[in-house]
Amino acid sequence: MIENIKNTFNESIETIQASSDLAEKIDSTVSIILNCFKNKNKLIIFGNGGSAADAQHIAAEFIGRFCHERESLPAIALTTDSSILSSLGNDYSFDIIFSRQCESIVKKDDVVIGISTSGNSKNVIEGLIASKKLGAITIGLLGNDGGKIKDIVDIQLTVNSSSTPRIQEVHRIIYHIICEQVENQFTK
């Protein structure tokens, strides 16, 4: 069992190190989000399961703080309202739970992040497509080979792994880097 634990740590480390190739795309993402906030636009984030929790985590870091006191920054996770999610899923289809919310919330020049470890989550795809139509800048926080979403978004941050836990671990590092870099520009 100890050997399995050590192997898990090593797999995680290898996936993290391989993902350092995303530094340039992460830097571009930081610039896009900074411009969004500086121009009084908002960040909208969504995903399913663990990715839904990550969406909420990202929004909380921007609304509250990451490491330093600063002004609150407008971020919304579309996974927090159980009445909206369940009514849309029941009355329409689970596939439209994000696109329908985006239709009413997303404005031109907002930034929308769709999170999908497979890159193929139908409702994330539909939410990103709806957001692009409304003039938002779209970012995919993805895994595997980026799936269908990599061809939809303006920037794709793809963790090249087929292991969902390893992808999610690197996603957390990526969005923590983004939060830290953005916050540094707003800290007084």
Q: Please write the tens of the pLDDT for every residue from 88-144.
A: 999 999 999 999 999 999 999 999 999 999 999 999 999 999 999 999 999 999 999
The pLDDT > 70 percentage for the chain reads 99
pLDDT for res 188: 65
The pLDDT > 90 percentage for the chain reads 99
pTM above 0.75, yes or no: yes
Structural domains counted in the chain: 1
Q: Which of 55, 33, 57, 58 is nearest to 46 (CA)?
A: 55
Task: Identify the domain containing residue 142 by its residue range.
Answer: 2-186
Chain Cα centroid distance, residue 130: 16
pLDDT for res 187: 81
CATH code of 181's domain: 3.40.50.10490
Q: Which of 63, 68, 67 is nearest to 37 (CA)?
A: 63
